[in-house]
Homo-oligomer: A and B are copies of this chain.
């Protein structure tokens, strides 16, 4: 498996944990140190404790949102790799960045940011790998 494939798999696991409300898996996905997260409309969360608390609240909410992702584009450089993708959350489109670092052989998330896309979106899903 190439690094790009492994990062795409990590990215799919992130959205799977989100979609199934699996907090234990979400906790495993996030790295221990040097982490940051900006949910849509939120200020930056910095540090594992605050970030996991936010996911606990989101995943355990009665009104947990449906989420899908497409158009994953991977950029790999050594032990750092990011995925740019489009999230579809309850019919709204968001531009998301998911950043991973290779730690003890596993790609763990070190940063997430999602922001609303105001522009009309191209309707043709596509994928790219830049590595």
Q: Is the CB of B75 within 8 A of A34?
A: yes
Count of A interface residues, CB-CB < 8 Å: 33
Q: Say yes or no: A42-B95 contact (C-beta < 8 A), given A77-B34, A114-B115, A116-B115.
A: yes
Judged by a CB distance under 8 angstroms, whether A20 is at the interface is no
- Chain A contact residues: helix, strand, loop or mixed: strand
Q: How far is the CB of A28 from chain B (nearest CB, A)?
A: 20
Nearest chain B residue, comparing its CB with the CB of A38: B95
Q: Which of A3-11, A52-60, A79-87 contacts B (4 or more CB under 8 A)?
A: A79-87
Bound together, the chains give a CA A63 to CA B13 distance in angstroms of: 42
Copies of this chain per assembly: 2
Bound together, the chains give a CA A107 to CA B128 distance in angstroms of: 26
Q: Is the CB of A84 within 8 A of B117?
A: no
Residues 89-131 of A, flagged 1 when their CB comes within 8 A of B and 0 if not, give 0000001010101000000000101111111011000001010
Bound together, the chains give a CA A117 to CA B45 distance in angstroms of: 12
Judged by a CB distance under 8 angstroms, whether A27 is at the interface is no
Top 5 closest A-B pairs, CB basis? Answer: A115-B115, A41-B118, A44-B84, A38-B95, A34-B75
27 contacts across the A-B interface (CB closer than 8 A): A34-B75, A36-B75, A36-B97, A38-B113, A40-B115, A40-B118, A42-B95, A42-B117, A42-B118, A43-B86, A43-B95, A43-B121, A43-B122, A44-B73, A44-B97, A46-B73, A46-B128, A47-B130, A80-B80, A82-B111, A95-B113, A97-B113, A113-B113, A113-B115, A114-B115, A115-B116, A116-B116
